[in-house]
Structure 1
Amino acid sequence: MNYQERFHQLLNYIDSHLDEELTVDKLSRIACLSKYHFHRQFSSLFGITAFAYIRQARMKRASYQLAFKKDMKVVDIAVANGYESSEAFSRAFSQSIGQNPSKFREQPQWTSWHEKYQQFKKLRIQRMKSDKYSHLVEIVNFSETKVAALEHLGALELLGNTINSFIDWRRKNNLSPNVSRTFNIVYDDPAVTEPDKYRCEICASIKSDVKQNEYGVITKIIPTGRCAVIKHIGSDDTISETITYLYSEWLPQSEEELRDYPLFFERVSFFPDVPETEIITDIYLPLK
C-alpha cells in the first residue's frame, strides 16, 4: 500500500473499532508505520492528532446514540465510547458539543453541532473518499411500495429533528426497521438548494394506510418502474460522490433517460447501529 492508502485503512479501522482501546502501538501497526513517528505523520496529514480524531469520532457516535437510541442509558453510551463514568463523559461531551448529554438527548442543537463538526466532516470527505462502494450499477424493476412518509423542509443540518419525530412515530406503531423497510425520497440537491427550501421525505414501508396523527406522517406510494441502483457503503459524508458518479459518468454512457420521479434511497443499515464504514445505502435513479 502507498502512504495515502495506509492512512485510509487506518481511519476505516478507527471508525470500525471505536469500542476498543486504540493505542499508538496498535494504530501504528495497522498503518504499517513506526510508532516513533506516527503522531507527527498523522498530524501533518490530517491537521489534528490521532487521539483528537478518535475523540471526535466517538463524540459523533455518542451524539447519534443519545439522539436516536433512546433505549440506551447515558452510562452505557459513556462506557461504549471509552469513559469510565457518566460524569466524566458528561464533562467531555459538554465541552465538545456545548450541551450536556441529557439536554442534547432532549433537544439537540443540530445547527451548532454541525458547525462544531464541520472541520471533522471536511477531513473525512477529503481523506476518506469511498473506495468500498461498487461502481456496479444494476437496472432493476422496482415494485410499487406503500410507505408512511414524513416531510422534512428546511436546512439539511436540522434533519435530525425530523428523524427523531419519525423514530417516535415508528416506535408507537411497531414499525421498527427490523420489520419495515426504510426509504428517503430526495427532492432537492442540498449543494444547490437554499437551506430553508431543501426538501426530502423519510419513509417506512407499510401494509395499511397511515391513520391521522400528530406527527404529520402520511401515506404515499413509491411507484413501480425501472431504476438504476448503486450500493453506497460508508458515511453519508461521501454519499454525494456516489450520486455524482451516477449522473455524470454512468448515465451519459448508459443512453438511458430519466423518469419524472425523484432520486430515492433505501437505508439498509444505519449508524450508529453499525460503524460508519459499514453503513449500506441503496441509491435508486428512476428511469423511463
Structure 2
Amino acid sequence: MNDRPPATTPQRASLHEYRRRIDRAVRHIASNIDRPLTVDEAAEAACFSKYHFHRLFMAVMNESPGEYITRKKLERAAIRLVYANASVTTLAEDYGYSTVAAFSKAFNHWFGCRPTELKALGEGPGADNGKLQSRHGKTLRAEELFVPVAVPEDAQRRAEIGSRVTIRQVDGFELCYLTSSGGYEPDSVWETWRALRGHVGEMADLDACAWFAISHDHPGLTPAAQCRYDACVALPAGVEAPLPKVGVPGGFFAIYPVEGPEASLLGQYLELYTLWMPQSGYEPADFPVLERYLPDSRPGYLYAELWAKVHPLRFF
C-alpha cells in the first residue's frame, strides 16, 4: 500500500494552510487555558484578521472560537473536579469566572448538572439536558468517567497501580505530528499513523524515533465529533521534517505503563485518574495526556505508557 498522501493541488494546499493556522489557534488556547483568553488573541495566534477568524474557525472546528474556549475551560475544570478534588472556588478563580455562582451557572448550562453533583454521578440517573446533550446528543455516564470503587479489591488495585506509576521530571521537547481527520475513530487513527510513518521513513530510521500520541479530549466529557487526536514523533537529533510541530512543556509527568486491546485503554486511563490521582499528592496539569507507544504495538493491541503532566497538589 502506498502510504504517501496524494499530490497537493492549490485548493488542497489552501485548505491545509487554513487548518494549520486554525490548529495554531487551538494550541495557543490549550497552552493558555488557565488564564483569561480573548478571541482576538486566538485570531492573532492564527495570523488571521479577527473579522475573518470567526467564520474560518467555525468552518474547521464546527463551533465558534468563543464556544470552544468556554467548552475547554469547563472540560478542564471537570477533570480537576473529578480526579483531583479541586474546590469549586479554586476552579472558578483558575478559569476566569468572577464568582462561584457564575462558574456554576456556566458548568450547569453545558453539562446539565452543577459541579457539586458531578462526582455523585455514579449514584444517580445522570445529567439533565444541558448543551452537551441537546447540541451533541451526549450524556454524562458514570462508566465513562469513573472506575467503580466500592469493590473489595479496590485498595489492592490502588496499591498495584501506585507501584507501577513513576514520577519523572522531563525537560521540554518537540514533536512533529499529523492530526487524525476522524478524531478517535480507529480507522482514521491508524491511517494517520501510516501517513506519519511514511513521511518520517523518508528521512530517518523509524526505530530511532520515539512515537507519541496526544489525545486532546476526555471521551467521557467531550462529544465524539470534537475529540482530537495527534499522531506524533520525536525525531533523532539533527533530523528535520516538513511537518507541523508542537512543544511539550517540561515538568513532572506521572508515567503509567499500559497494554491491551485499544478498547481497554479508556479503562486504564480511568484507573490512573480515579484510583491513583486523588491519593497521589499530585493533580493533573492543564495539558493533555501523552501516549508513548512502545515496540510491538499494532492495530488492535497496544503496548504504551501514559504520560500525565502533573504538579504537586495545592491546598487552599
TM-score under structure 2 normalisation?
0.47
Is the Cα–Cα contact under 8 Å of residues 212 and 293 in structure 2 kept in the other structure? yes
Quick one: structure 1 residues 118 and 88, their matched pair in 2 at CA, closer, same or farther if it must change by over 3 Å?
A: closer
Match of 1:27 in 2: 42
Q: How far off its partner does 1:53 sit? A: 0.7
Quick one: structure 1 residues 165 and 190, their matched pair in 2 at CA, closer, same or farther if it must change by over 3 Å?
A: farther
Match of 2:100 in 1: 86
- Aligned-partner Cα distance in 2 for 1:241–1:163: 31
Q: How far off its partner does 1:42 sit? A: 1.9
- Tell me which stretches of 4 or more aligned residues in structure 1 moved more than 6 Å: 117-122, 163-166, 189-192, 264-267, 269-272
Quick one: structure 1 residues 231 and 172, their matched pair in 2 at CA, closer, same or farther if it must change by over 3 Å?
A: closer
SS at structure 1 position matched to 2:80: helix
Quick one: structure 1 residues 4 and 106, their matched pair in 2 at CA, closer, same or farther if it must change by over 3 Å?
A: same
Aligned Cα root-mean-square deviation (Å): 4.8
Quick one: structure 1 residues 32 and 274, their matched pair in 2 at CA, closer, same or farther if it must change by over 3 Å?
A: same
Match of 1:116 in 2: 132
Counterpart residue type for residue 25 of structure 2: L
Match of 2:53 in 1: 38
Q: 1:280 aligns with which of 263, 267, 290?
A: 290
Is the Cα–Cα contact under 8 Å of residues 113 and 127 in structure 2 kept in the other structure? no
- Aligned-partner Cα distance in 2 for 1:6–1:43: 13
SS at structure 2 position matched to 1:18: coil
Aligned-pair identity (%): 21
- Aligned-partner Cα distance in 1 for 2:74–2:30: 12
Is the Cα–Cα contact under 8 Å of residues 121 and 127 in structure 2 kept in the other structure? no
Q: How far off its partner does 1:80 sit? A: 1.3
Aligned residues: 191
Deviation per CA, 1:65-120, whole angstroms, max 9, x where unpaired? 111111x2110011112211111111111111111111112336797699927978
Report whether the alignment pairs 1:233 with 2:233.
Answer: no
- Aligned-partner Cα distance in 1 for 2:133–2:78: 11
SS at structure 1 position matched to 2:212: strand
Point out the more displaced range, 42-51 or 230-239.
Answer: 230-239
- Aligned-partner Cα distance in 1 for 2:56–2:229: 28
Quick one: structure 1 residues 16 and 116, their matched pair in 2 at CA, closer, same or farther if it must change by over 3 Å?
A: same
SS at structure 2 position matched to 1:162: coil
Q: Which runs of 5+ in 2 are unaligned?
A: 1-15, 168-183, 188-208, 218-226, 233-258, 278-282, 298-316
TM-score under structure 1 normalisation?
0.51
Match of 1:252 in 2: none
